[in-house]
């Protein structure tokens, strides 16, 4: 018995009978089909359509608003069905009918072009690509192997948490830059006073400024908790 796509059955030299025509009609409607073959002949076919998650359009808009305009869809589904879904979401870059290794190759190629790649996936087929991305993001309720290959796991079945994770990450980096500026700036000021002030500036003051920089950075680090 063989179960899979039209391409899979053709690769195994299985007669499609009338299933090919049904699959073609399904693709025109943005649908996919799964075929069942027994002893070299196709005996069954399931036509289905991928449902776009309710929050996905809002997530795509939120990512674009955050200056992430290059969003790519990687899928093993047929090209027509994939493009149908992509058109609903406003995604123009679509790679369809690809294998897990091809997903990983595309991620690697994007990185070679100098792009920083965040890969979001939840299936076994996504695991390799997740491991090659700069940041792999997996869904908690996905396959067991996907979270093991990712650096970030969304603990709720809600893609909007991806936007939350992005905002938190950017806020964290901004906070690091602020604290770095505080520490370096205050210590440089203390050093300048010590070198140029001479007897006019007591060493206790420069010591206070230097040590105070760590205190100021610690207080600044509490801002996210205060908000």
Q: Which residues contact 38 (CB under 8 A, 6 or more apart)?
A: 1
Structural domain count of the chain: 3
Q: Are residues 133 and 87 in the same domain?
A: yes
Cross-strand partners of 15: 41
Q: Are residues 6 and 97 in the same domain?
A: no
Do residues 66 and 59 touch, judged by C-beta distance below 8 A? Answer: no
pTM for the predicted model, two decimal places:
0.74
Whose tokens are 């073609």? That residue is 24
Q: Are residues 22 and 36 in the same domain?
A: yes
Do residues 75 and 95 touch, judged by C-beta distance below 8 A? Answer: yes
Domain that holds residue 127: 56-164
60-110 pLDDT, tens digit each: 999 999 999 899 999 888 788 888 889 889 898 999 989 899 999 999 999
Q: Are residues 117 and 25 in the same domain?
A: no
Q: Are residues 21 and 62 in the same domain?
A: no
Q: Which residues contact 72 (CB under 8 A, 6 or more apart)?
A: 91, 93, 94, 95, 106, 110
Mean pLDDT along residues 153-169: 91
Q: Are residues 101 and 120 in the same domain?
A: yes
Cross-strand partners of 139: 154
199-213 pLDDT, tens digit each: 667 777 878 888 888
């Amino acid at each position: 018995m063989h179960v899979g796509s039209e391409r899979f059955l053709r690769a195994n030299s299985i007669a499609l009978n009338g299933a090919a025509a049904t699959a073609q009609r399904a693709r025109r409607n943005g649908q996919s089909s799964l075929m069942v073959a027994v002893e070299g002949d196709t005996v069954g076919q399931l036509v289905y359509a991928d449902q776009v998650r309710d929050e996905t359009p809002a997530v795509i808009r939120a990512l674009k608003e955050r200056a992430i305009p290059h969003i790519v869809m990687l899928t093993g589904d047929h090209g027509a069905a994939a493009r149908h879904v992509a058109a609903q979401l406003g995604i123009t870059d679509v790679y369809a009918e690809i294998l897990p290794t091809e997903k990983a190759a595309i991620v690697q190629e994007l990185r070679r072009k100098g792009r920083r790649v965040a890969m979001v996936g939840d299936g076994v087929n996504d695991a390799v690509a997740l491991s090659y991305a700069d940041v792999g993001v997996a869904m908690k309720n996905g396959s067991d192997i996907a979270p093991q290959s990712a650096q970030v796991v969304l603990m709720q079945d809600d893609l909007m948490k991806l936007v939350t994770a992005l905002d938190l990450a950017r806020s964290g980096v901004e906070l690091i830059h602020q604290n770095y500026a505080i520490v370096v700036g205050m210590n440089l000021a203390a050093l300048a006073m010590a070198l140029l002030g001479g007897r006019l500036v007591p060493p206790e003051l420069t010591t206070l400024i230097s040590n105070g920089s760590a205190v100021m950075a610690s207080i600044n680090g509490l801002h996210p908790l205060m908000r």
